[in-house]
Each structure stands twice: as C-alpha cells, then as structure tokens.
Amino acid sequence: EVQLVESGGGLVQPGGSLRLSCAASGFTFSSYWMHWVRQAPGKGLVWVSRINSDGSSTSYADSVKGRFTISRDNAKNTLYLQMNSLRAEDTAVYYCARGQFDYWGQGTLVTVSS
Amino acid sequence: EIVLTQSPGPLSLSPGERATLSCRASQSVSSSYLAWYQQKPGQAPRLLIYGASSRATGIPDRFSGSGSGTDFTLTISRLEPEDFAVYYCQQYGSSLITFGPGTKVDIK
C-alpha cells in the first residue's frame, strides 16, 4: 500500500525556518518525481515545488523561490522541504504528492505567527 | 504561468442530478496535461481524472472528463451523496504547475 506521511509542521515566528519531511512507503520511491503542494486555511491548492527522481532537477513557485529548498534522500525514502525566511502568508497545510499526483499525504500544518 | 479559471461558482444540486464543471486555461494546456481532483473537508485531494479524460484507479465511471486546448469539463453523471465536495482542475504541462480556484458542489 502506497503511503506518504508528512511531519515537521508547527508554529514558527516570521523570519524563522522549518524543515518538513515526507516519508514514503509501498512503492519504489527513487523512481518517482515528487511534489509539495500547500493549502492556506479555507483557500485553494497551490503547487509549491517538485523534484525529479534522482534529485538533480527542481522547480519552485515564484512565491517561494529563493526561500524554500526541496530535496530527497532515496536511501531513506524521504522527501524534504526546507523553508527559510517564513512569512505569515506561508501559513498552510503542506502536502507531499507522488509523481502524477496520484497519491497524497495527509498534510502537515505550518503556522507562521508571532 | 498558465491561469486556470473554474465555473460556475458554487453549484447547488440534488442527489441524482448531473453536474457539469468547467475549467478554462489562459493558454493552451500541453498535451492535455489537465487533471481534476476532489477534496472533502479535512482530507487530502483525490485524483479523479488525468490527461483530461482518463479516470484514475478506482474512480467510478459516473465521473468523466473531456476537452482540449484551453477548455475542459468534468461531468458527474448522477450525483451520489459522497460526491458533494470541492473540485479543482490542475495543469501540469508547464514547468510551473497551477490549480484552478475550485468549484464547490453542495446539496440543494
């Protein structure tokens, strides 16, 4: 059974940093591109970032470029999102999703507030 | 960036009725890389349709997708009680992936 489990969310002050993790199981993680998608409270879905299967290529939404870094450890079957210089508008549930978005995790809530 | 617009606004229908949801793109979507998702409160999105018209694994055949270029449609032939939710379209054919704002289908 495919499973994606996010962790690392929490409350952080503006300007702070947080690293999210997404633990994958039930499939060959190293064969899939992976994504992060976020959803602010009561709002729609926003794609954040993606990484190719071996980690050599990444893309970012303009709103996070230069502040967020996506990475992966295929030996640990884990996807990461390093978030720096956090702003109030980064407050959201962050989901990881597999390849063609066919599987999603349950999400982890990031709250940026003083 | 490809901007997706969804219509109508909230859609109020009764179980058994047909729902037709529209998604329009600001420019042509490459190779019909257009997907539809269903999301219920407190849950992650669920992939319904990919490639504009292919149903994802386990999706009932009352869900169908159509369209190409800039105009796409999700049709639910007969609404079941579990179908009342928010539906998002998404394009994944460009380097910057975008979602539409969503259409809420609620019970009339």
Per-residue confidence (pLDDT) for residue A72, from 0 to 100? 98
Q: In which band, very low, low, confident or very high, does the pLDDT at B94 lie, cut at 50, 70 and 90?
A: confident
CB A18 within 8 A of CB A64: no
Q: In which band, very low, low, confident or very high, does the pLDDT at B9 lie, cut at 50, 70 and 90?
A: confident
Q: Cβ of A100 and B47 within 8 Å?
A: yes
Alpha-carbon span A56 to A31, nearest angstrom = 13
Q: In which band, very low, low, confident or very high, does the pLDDT at B2 lie, cut at 50, 70 and 90?
A: very high
Per-residue confidence (pLDDT) for residue B32, from 0 to 100? 78
What is B28-60 written as a DSSP string? PPGGG-EEEEEE-TTS--EEEEETTTEEPTT--
Q: In which band, very low, low, confident or very high, does the pLDDT at B81 lie, cut at 50, 70 and 90?
A: very high
Residue A79: name the closest of A6, A28, A27, A26 by CA: A6
Q: In degrees, to the nearest 5, what angle opens at C-alpha A98 toward C-alphas A92 and A101?
A: 75
Is the pLDDT assigned to residue B31 strictly greater than 90?
Answer: no
Alpha-carbon span B30 to B22, nearest angstrom = 18
B87, B97, B104: best to mutate for the A interface, most A CBs within 10 A: B97
Token reading at A29: 């993680």
pLDDT tens digits in sequence order for chain A, 114 residues long: 999 999 999 999 999 999 999 999 999 999 999 999 999 999 999 999 999 999 999 999 999 999 999 999 999 999 999 999 999 999 999 999 999 999 999 999 999 999
Q: What is the mean pLDDT of residues B18-46?
A: 94
* Tokens 């407190």 found at: B42
CB B8 within 8 A of CB B101: no
Residue A84: name the closest of A35, A6, A40, A18 by CA: A18
Q: Cβ of B44 and A45 within 8 Å?
A: no
* Higher local confidence (pLDDT), A11 or B107: A11
A41-79 as b/e: b if 16+ CB within 10 A:
eeeebbbbbbbebeeeeebbbeebeeebbbebebeebbb
Token reading at A35: 């994504």
Alpha-carbon span A28 to A16, nearest angstrom = 34
Per-residue confidence (pLDDT) for residue B71, from 0 to 100? 95
CB B34 within 8 A of CB B90: yes
Alpha-carbon span A31 to A78, nearest angstrom = 13
Smallest CA–CA distance from A61 into chain B, residue = B96
Q: Cβ of A45 and B47 within 8 Å?
A: no
Q: For residue B12, give every residue at least 6 positions away whose Cβ sits within 8 Å of its Cβ, in sequence order, or none.
A: B106, B107, B108
Q: In which band, very low, low, confident or very high, does the pLDDT at B95 lie, cut at 50, 70 and 90?
A: confident
CB A49 within 8 A of CB A20: no
Q: Cβ of A59 and B99 within 8 Å?
A: no
Smallest CA–CA distance from A4 into chain B, residue = B44
| DSSP one-letter code for A88 | G
Per-residue confidence (pLDDT) for residue B93, from 0 to 100? 87
Q: In which band, very low, low, confident or very high, does the pLDDT at B66 lie, cut at 50, 70 and 90?
A: very high
